Amino acid sequence: MNFPERNPNLENTIDPWRIRVFVIIVALVFSVYTLRLYSLQILQGEDYAARAAGNRTQEINIQAPRGIISDRNGAVLARNVASYNVVITASELPDDEADIQRIYRELSTVIGVPVNLNELSPENPYVPCRSEHGIAQIALYGATASPYTPVRVKCDVDELTARVVMERSVDWPGVNIEIEPIREYPTGNLTANIVGYMGPVPAELLDYDLYQQQRLVANRDKVGYAGVELSLQDILGGTNGLRVVERDVAGQVLRDLQPPIAPQPGNNVRLTIDVRLQQLARTALEAEMNYLNRVSPTGIRTTSGVVIAINPKTGEILAMVSYPSYDNNRMARFIPAYYLEQLQSDGREPLLNHAIQAERPPGSVFKLSTAVGALNEGVVTPDQVIKTPGVIELVQKYYANDPGKPQKFVDWIYNDGAHPEGFVQLTIRGCIQNSSNVCFYKLGGGYFDEIPNGGLNICRLKTYAEALGYGFPTGIELPGEENGLLPTPTWKRITQGENWATGDTYIATVGQGYVLVTPLQVLMSATTIANDGVMMQPTIVREIVDGEGNVITPFTPRIKWDITQDNLIKVYAPQAGVSSSCQETGEARNVDPEVLQIVQEGMRLAVTDGTLKDTFQGFPIAAAGKTGTAEYCDNVAQEKRLCKPGNWPSHGWTVAYAPYDDPEIAVVAFLYNAGEGAKTAAPVVRGVIEGYFYLKTIDAGGETP
């Protein structure tokens, strides 16, 4: 039978070539796929394996607790306290949505964060502790970003709220309290200039070796920004721990890939400060400053001040007050920008530790260097009588053969009008006792045949001042210490573009002109003299103690140098002219102990019958000291138009030690723009020395008067 057309129901009429085309297309496509697979797995396999490894390995940095700072008696100056954050871990929330909502509602009533507030958006992202979002939004962020990592819902809740949340966390799975260590400074602004404060690790300093070594993490860990917190960061900071772990996509830690490194807590530091003496010194300084400002007819007079107390035998700083100060507790959680700005724009510079970070003219306290130099160099003999009229005329010369211009130099006592004859005549002891300017002008710069050959001269003055600790940082364990300035003819030519003049030498010998010092340097110079020439290394750190109370570094006083033994005094060739550079001969010598004995006697006389007589009236312990009234004309004074010729404003200085025979305490006080040191700084010094012996009696268990 023939059909006109093939009956499809009886025959397969599909053209085989059409199926072949199908096969070819499939073969082509899968060949491409295989090539692609080959490229991914074989050619780029290593890249992808590395990316897979990067996906799942995570470094976990474990914060090390910071060391505690205390004073010499164990009173805490800086410690870590718990700050409580309410956190939600999304992965621990219950499965049931109604349960979750119940938790949010109940939590909301306890912590006061609304359940729903401000949807998350790129413009308004979640920022821990800062952004304002509802609990549900923050939890959603946690669930999507990192379900196994707690996210902060509310930061720094009070302890009561924290306890309530902890108690109820049984009913609130997923809700927890995170304890964040925060630095607390119980003594606040009393010790802020010593202790300092902390701030976040600056991202640009992360490469800094110490921070690397301590494994600090940006945006989490904090480092010292000032004071001991900064300078002892290596001791206090400890070393953060590290775990390299494998994690899954949700952030859950599966296992350690390397042996974990446990965090090493920072060591505790015990400072040499006695916080009681510190308080006493601050009170004495503040009281004096308040008094001076109250009686001042021209309004606020003195705006900042410094008191430092040291044990001359050991170099231990017992108190270091820099006024005004700031409240480092306000920087504990974060540094408020407005507060920092307020401190930075304050002309009194409360952020500075004026004891070491401010350079001031020393005035007459600097005469101790001149006296030591003049005696040791034989410019004057111990019993030589020097004529000290109220006014002398000296010739101001700018170069060797300069005929010069006569200029009058007056003694301080001449200014009160009652003593036109000045001190008449004095020996070197008397010069120190009465702080006679005329005497020191003559010793420092020479005076005709009475003090021939240009006196001590600026070169030798500089080397004696350096031996007494001026011109360089003292090396105390505090950051940002200033050098001070001891001028030389070369220095003046380079920086001022002018030749050194005779007058420059004269005023430098009495600590005026270009001479700048820090209060600690003044204290160290007096301490060295009191200590018979032994310069102790000033220190603020008594001992370093580990977390279990074992002393790691016990206190050992360190002698910096002994000017009677070590050849610190450079010998210079005679100056060709007044403005010639200082020519070192390469030789060096030391100081005769007898010289120091004479200077000590001069300082003792100042207390018994000199500049400090009124202040130390009736003081039961033999003290010795030196006052200073340093004229200045800085930018502040210029703005206030205080720099009137011949009548500049002045800072008050006094440095003293006691007991005279066997010094236990040396104190310096500096009062900015307070005027005459004997009347302004001296009472503060006496108060602190008194306080020291008062505390000593208490500590010995004795009765106090």
Partner 1 sequence: MQRLNWRDFDFWLLAGVILLIIFGVVMIRSAIAGNIDLLELNIVRRQIIFALLGLLMVFAATLIDYHVWEATYTVLYFGVFLLLGVLFAVGQAVYGSARWFDVGFILIQPSEIAKIVLIMALARFFARNQHRIHRPEWIARSFLLTLGIAIWILLQPDLSTSIVLFVIWFVMLWSSGLPVRYLVGTAVGGVFLLLVTVPLVFGAIVNPDSLSEDGLIKPYQMWRVHNFIFTDEEARYGEGFNVEQALITIGSGSLFGAGYGQNPQVQSRFLKVRQTDFIYAVIAGEFGFVGTTLVTLLLLFVIWRCLLIARRASDTYGALMVIGVATLLTFHAMVNVGMNLKLLPVTGLPLPFISYGGSSLLSTMLGIGLVESVAIRQKQLNFEA
Contacts to partner 1 by CB under 8 A: 5, 8-16, 18-19, 21-23, 26, 29-30, 32-34, 36-38, 40-42, 44-45, 47-49, 51-52, 55-56, 144-145, 246-250, 254
Element at 241 (helix H, strand E): strand 241-247
Residue 665 near residue 675, CB atoms below 8 Å: no
Q: Which is nearer to partner 1, 27 or 424 (CB)?
A: 27
CB of 60 to partner 1, least distance (A): 16
Q: Which is nearer to partner 1, 253 or 573 (CB)?
A: 253
d(CA 230, CA 224): 4
The full DSSP string for 389-444 is -SEEEEEE-SSTT---EEEEEE-GGGGGSS-TTTTEEE-HHHHHHHT-HHHHHHHH
Q: Which is nearer to partner 1, 76 or 245 (CB)?
A: 245
* 3-state DSSP percent of the chain in helix, strand and coil, to 5: 35, 20, 40
Instruction: Name 278's Cβ contacts closer than 8 Å, sequence gap at least 6.
Output: 71, 187, 190, 191, 318, 319, 320, 321
Cα–Cα nearest to 300, from 310, 290, 309: 290
CB of 172 to partner 1, least distance (A): 21
Q: Which is nearer to partner 1, 39 or 585 (CB)?
A: 39
CB of 100 to partner 1, least distance (A): 16
CB of 57 to partner 1, least distance (A): 10
Residues in the chain: 705
Q: Is 219 helix (H, G, I), strand (E, B) or coil?
A: coil
CB of 122 to partner 1, least distance (A): 14
Q: Which is nearer to partner 1, 32 or 698 (CB)?
A: 32
Greatest alpha-carbon pair distance for the chain in Å reads 161
d(CA 509, CA 461): 7
- The counts of H helices and E strands in the chain are 22, 25
Backbone angles phi, psi at 563, to 5 degrees: -70, -15
Q: Which is nearer to partner 1, 125 or 574 (CB)?
A: 125
CB of 142 to partner 1, least distance (A): 14
Cα–Cα nearest to 286, from 679, 683, 655: 683
Retrieve residue 685's tokens: 């010094």
Q: Which is nearer to partner 1, 26 or 391 (CB)?
A: 26
CB of 25 to partner 1, least distance (A): 9
Residue 659 near residue 689, CB atoms below 8 Å: no
Residue 262 near residue 236, CB atoms below 8 Å: no
Q: Which is nearer to partner 1, 36 or 405 (CB)?
A: 36
CB of 16 to partner 1, least distance (A): 6
C-alpha to C-alpha distances, 429 to 384, 507, 612, nearest whole angstrom: 10, 20, 14
CB of 11 to partner 1, least distance (A): 6
Q: Which is nearer to partner 1, 255 or 408 (CB)?
A: 255
CB of 34 to partner 1, least distance (A): 6
Q: Which is nearer to partner 1, 19 or 588 (CB)?
A: 19
Buried b (16+ CB within 10 A) or exposed e, 47-57: eeeeeeeeeee
CB of 640 to partner 1, least distance (A): 59
Q: Computed over its alpha carbons, how large is the radius of gyration of the chain?
A: 37
Q: Which is nearer to partner 1, 3 or 338 (CB)?
A: 3
Q: Which is nearer to partner 1, 14 or 494 (CB)?
A: 14
d(CA 610, CA 622): 14
Residue 262 near residue 158, CB atoms below 8 Å: no
CB of 132 to partner 1, least distance (A): 24
Backbone angles phi, psi at 444, to 5 degrees: -75, -45
d(CA 606, CA 496): 36
Q: What is the DSSP letter of 6?
A: -
Instruction: Name 136's Cβ contacts closer than 8 Å, sequence gap at least 6.
Output: 104, 115, 116
CB of 178 to partner 1, least distance (A): 24
The full DSSP string for 481-511 is ----B---HHHHHHHHSS---HHHHHHHHTT
Q: Which is nearer to partner 1, 19 or 300 (CB)?
A: 19
The full DSSP string for 616-647 is TTT-SS--EEEEEEEE---HHHHHTT--BTTB
The full DSSP string for 532-583 is TTEEEPPBSEEEEE-TTS-EEE-----EEEETTTS--EEEEPPPSSTTSPP-
CB of 137 to partner 1, least distance (A): 17
Own/partner long-range contacts of 155-159 (Cβ < 8 Å, ≥24 apart): 155/83, 155/85, 155/86, 155/128, 155/129, 156/83, 156/84, 156/85, 156/129, 156/333, 157/84, 157/85, 157/86, 157/111, 158/84, 159/84
Q: Which is nearer to partner 1, 52 or 588 (CB)?
A: 52
Cα–Cα nearest to 233, from 198, 271, 262, 257: 198
CB of 127 to partner 1, least distance (A): 18
Retrieve residue 362's tokens: 């020393």
CB of 35 to partner 1, least distance (A): 10
Cα separation of the two ends of the chain: 145
CB of 219 to partner 1, least distance (A): 19
Q: Which is nearer to partner 1, 145 or 262 (CB)?
A: 145
Q: Which is nearer to partner 1, 17 or 338 (CB)?
A: 17
Q: Which is nearer to partner 1, 144 or 585 (CB)?
A: 144
